[in-house]
Amino acid sequence: MHVHAHPDDESSKGAATTARYVAEGVDVHVVTCTGGERGSILNPRMDRPDVLENISEIRRQEMDRARDILGVTQDWLGFVDSGFPEGDPPPPLPEGCFASLPVEEAAEPLVRLMRSFRPHVVTTYDERGGYPHPDHIMCHQVGVAAFEAAGDPSAYPGSGEPWQPLKLYYHHAFHRERTEALHEAMLADGLESPYAERLADWKPDPVHDARVTTRVPCADYFPVRDRALLAHATQIDPEGPWFAVPLRIHQSAWPTEDYELVRAHVQVATPESDLFAGIRESVGETES
């Protein structure tokens, strides 16, 4: 189960991992916390009044297409996008939005879904949200709270039979080591790197950079990831930064998607190359 803040996050974070596991027969479920109603239109070709007026429905249609490309099932938690507050100081969050709710309240429908779908693995964002969007930070808080509560019979007693997922991971999609590898590969190929300015401004954070525990090989599924990304036409410009690095360089320079294992109810040994490491053996022993 992947727990994401907005439609398009499931395609920009871990989509090739998803596609690989779906191809291997794993039942993968995406939870989308908000509808992305306050998201900006990031593709110039879609920046039109008719799109802006119908952004909620269009983003749901985009999610439908991406879901079908990835081969997953999906649920909306039904919360309202908080938007990205900009200014100094930033304005208050809109009333009733996802990030303004108490975590205990917002976690209940996710607990219900975990107890219904019964995942062995859950992924979400770290405490920074991947980037500091209030919905991403709230998604982290709700995802962790639901993971802890889903197996507790005393928590949310009216929300289904308890079920304890066995492993919780954080996505680390845009860490420095990967960015440097792609940057260097672009230069070695005689191409202009889109990451030069970002790397120049990147403040060292060796503790955070060292948090990756699990690298899932999935380069063969990068084309599926890209198709799923392009399904979110309001958010992804085909000629923009998402596709500035050619696919062949992505596949050769960094052929994995990367995660941090933060909770495990099975015996594990890191580093890992499989989100189900330790689970396949544990579940097999239980069922035999």
Domain housing 239:
2-175+207-287
Counted domains in the chain: 1
Task: Tell me whether the omega of the peptide bond preceding residue 162 falls within 30 degrees of 0, making it cis.
Answer: no
Q: Is the pLDDT of residue 287 over 50?
A: no
Q: Is 272 helix (H, G, I), strand (E, B) or coil?
A: strand
CATH number at residue 168: 3.40.50.10320
Mention every residue, 6+ apart, whose C-beta is less than 8 A from residue 274: 214, 216
Nearest to 174 by CA among 208, 135, 137: 208
With respect to residue 201, please indicate whether it lies within any of the assigned structural domains. Answer: no
Q: Is residue 104 included in any domain, yes or no?
A: yes
Show Cβ contacts of residue 18 under 8 Å, excluding neighbours closer than 6 positions. 2, 10, 28, 30, 70, 71, 72
Q: Is residue 71 part of a domain?
A: yes
In a domain, residue 193? The reply is: no
Residue 97 reports pLDDT greater than 60: yes
Asked, for residue 186, whether it belongs to a domain, the answer is no
Q: Which of 18, 125, 23 is nearest to 74 (CA)?
A: 18
Is residue 194, in this structure, part of any structural domain at all?
no
CA distance 108 to 163: 14
* 189, part of any domain: no
Model confidence at 288, pLDDT cuts 50, 70, 90, reads very low
**Cα(153)–Cα(6) distance, rounded to whole angstroms?**
30
pLDDT of residue 187: 98
Task: Give the per-residue pLDDT at 208.
Answer: 86
Global pTM reads: 0.95
Is 98 contained in some domain?
yes
